[in-house]
Structure 1
Amino acid sequence: MADTVLAWTAFQASVHAVGLDVMSEDRLACDREYVVLPADRFPHIRSVAEHLSEVDREDQFELTLQLVLDAAEARGARGGNPSGSARGSGPGDGREGGEVTV
C-alpha cells in the first residue's frame, strides 16, 4: 500500500508542477480521444468512454486504496497465498516465475 500512496503522491506533484490549467486542457483532450478510438481495437475503452469524464482524481485515489485493501484482505483470507492454490508461484514465496494475483 505504501508504494500505491507514494505513486499517487508523485502523480499529484507532477500535476501541481505542470499546473492545473494545463492538466484540465489535457483531461479534455483525453476525453475527446477516448470517444473517437476505433471500437474494434479498443472495445473496453469505448464501452465506458462517455463515463470517463465523470471520474475525478479524488475518486481514483479512494478507489485505488480500496482495491489494494480488498486485495490484501482477500489474500489474507486465502492464507497469504497469492494464487489461492496449495502452492504459491509469486515473488517472495521461494519459487521462480508466476504472477501475483491481487
Structure 2
Amino acid sequence: MLPTSLKSKIQRILLKGSFKKSESFKSRVKGLGHVSAGFTFAKTFDDEYCLYYTCGNMAFRGMPTEEKDNQTEKMHQFLLEQGLEKNIEMTEFRNCNIVKS
C-alpha cells in the first residue's frame, strides 16, 4: 500500500473513532497562528509517515509529555483493534512516542 493511501486510511479510521485532527487557524498578526490539540502526521527522515498527538498552542499548551504519549498510545491501540497491526508500529522519536507506518 502506498504511504499516502495508508495515511488517508488511518485518518479516516481515527476520525470515525473519537479522535480529533489537529487544525491550524490563522491569526490577524502575521506569523502568529494557532494550532488545536489532536492527532497530526509528519514525515520522518526516511520519507515514512509518523502519527502523534500534539497539544497545539491553544488551550493545552501546558500538557505534559506523558499525557501526549498516553494519547498517542490510545490511538495506537485503537488502530491495532481495527486490524492495522501489520502496517504500523510504536516507536520513540525525539523523546516522544510516535506511531510509524
How high is the TM-score relative to the length of structure 1?
Answer: 0.28
Which structure would you say has the larger Rg?
1
Larger relative contact order (Cα-Cα within 8 Å, sequence gap ≥ 6): 2
- Structure having the higher strand fraction is 2
- Structure having the higher helix fraction is 1
